[in-house]
Homo-oligomer: A and B are copies of this chain.
Amino acid sequence: MATDFRRKEQLPDLTDRLVETYQDLPTIHHLGHCPLPSVEAVIEIVDDLKELVFPGYRRRQNLHMGNVVYHVGDLVDGLHDKLTEQIGRALRHRYQLQNGIHCVDESKQDFEKLGQEKAIDFLESLPEIRRLLATDVQAAYDGDPAAKSLDEIIFCYPGIEAITVHRLAHRLYQMDVPLIPRILGEYSHARTGIDIHPGANVGPSFFIDHGTGVVIGETCDIEEGVKIYQGVTLGALSFPRDDEGNLVRDEKRHPTIEAGVVIYANATILGGTTVVGRNSIIGASVSLKKSVEPNTVVTIENPTLRFREAS
């Protein structure tokens, strides 16, 4: 039993051939650039933010009104620094892309200063985000007979994980922070199976039950008190292209869901002009491409079932 060390002599040559492909294929390496945001650092940030919006559930126990201010102050101070650095990197990265340059002379553009401004604006929005999340947690309890307590929901429900990360990512998206909102969204998608683009507008008291397979597109508008089940897609009908045949990357492509609507499992609602009127109910597996009046129940004519005895 032995490794043949002579065979290892071909590894340097193999290394050279691999590095050559970095020259041939510049689109999929990131060499000779200023550093990108760090995915690991962004995930650390979102974990700190969860600790701020739902204090006492995870990392730190035995917090009370007397000592929580120190815990929160410490987290806020650290988040200021982490967000400043990562947002600064993201802004610089976009600047480089837009100007087709590799690395920016910081003296010209102070991206860290811009990052700090956005970082502080973002932290200022946390009280408002907490108010929204409190409505989401209550909506989950009111909407699920299996829920035993609010604590269980905050602890366990993937729908709460997804909307928590989304509300944070959406705020960064609104502040025109590049890249980081999408990293947050896909981090949550990987953990919950719920794919909400950071651009989607979601009103208060939003509840996704079970959630696996849900897809909510970038230009969706979802009003207050909407409830969605697993496998629901709120998607685009088709992609308009400009005269050069390039995809048009702005404009509303995804539906509007008005207040109080319930959408059952695996329903699909497509198109930027499609509006589901308030308090309507969309049945399981319904596929909608046009608007629906308020207070409408939409179900599919059950496809005829065939019953025969097993051979």
> Does A3 contact B84, Cβ atoms closer than 8 Å?
yes
Pair A292/B268 contact, Cβ less than 8 Å:
no
Asked if B189 contacts A190 (CB within 8 A), the reply is no
In A174-199, the 8 Å CB interface with B consists of 178-179, 182-183, 185-186, 189-193, 195, 197, 199
Interface size class of A (residues with CB under 8 A): 35 or more
A222 at the interface (CB under 8 A from B): no
Point out which of A134, A151, A301 has the most chain B C-beta atoms below 10 A from its C-beta: A151
**Cα–Cα, bound, A244→B93 (Å):** 56
Say how many copies of this protein the assembly contains.
3
Asked whether A265 and B151 contact (CB < 8 A) given A64-B32, A133-B28, A305-B299, the answer is: no
Q: Decide yes or no whether A27 CB sits under 8 A from chain B.
A: yes
Whether a CB of chain B sits under 8 angstroms from the CB of A43 is no
**Residue numbers in B under 8 Å from A63 (CB-CB):** 30-32
Q: A21 to B157, Cβ gap below 8 A?
A: no
Chain A 280-311 residues near chain B, CB threshold 8 A: 280-281, 284-288, 292-293, 295-310
> A179 and B155 in contact (CB under 8 A), knowing A134-B27, A146-B218, A286-B305?
yes
Report yes or no: A210 in contact with B218, Cβ–Cβ below 8 A. Answer: no
Decide yes or no whether A112 CB sits under 8 A from chain B: yes
Q: For A301, list chain B residues within 8 Å (CB).
A: 303-306
| Partner pick for A231 among B113, B197, B231, B308, CB 8 A cutoff | B231
Q: Does A279 touch B at the CB level, under 8 Å?
A: yes
18 contacts between A and B (CB under 8 A): A1-B112, A11-B76, A14-B124, A21-B131, A22-B65, A27-B134, A28-B154, A29-B55, A39-B58, A145-B239, A148-B179, A148-B249, A152-B182, A158-B186, A212-B215, A215-B230, A215-B265, A297-B309
Residues on A lying within 8 angstroms of B by beta carbon are 1-4, 7-8, 10-12, 14-25, 27-33, 35-36, 38-39, 52-58, 61-65, 68-69, 72-73, 76-77, 80-81, 84, 93, 97, 106-107, 110-113, 116-117, 120, 123-124, 126-127, 130-131, 133-134, 137-138, 142, 144-152, 154-158, 178-179, 182-183, 185-186, 189-193, 195, 197, 199, 210, 212-213, 215, 217-218, 230-231, 233, 235-236, 239, 247-249, 253, 265-266, 268, 279-281, 284-288, 292-293, 295-310
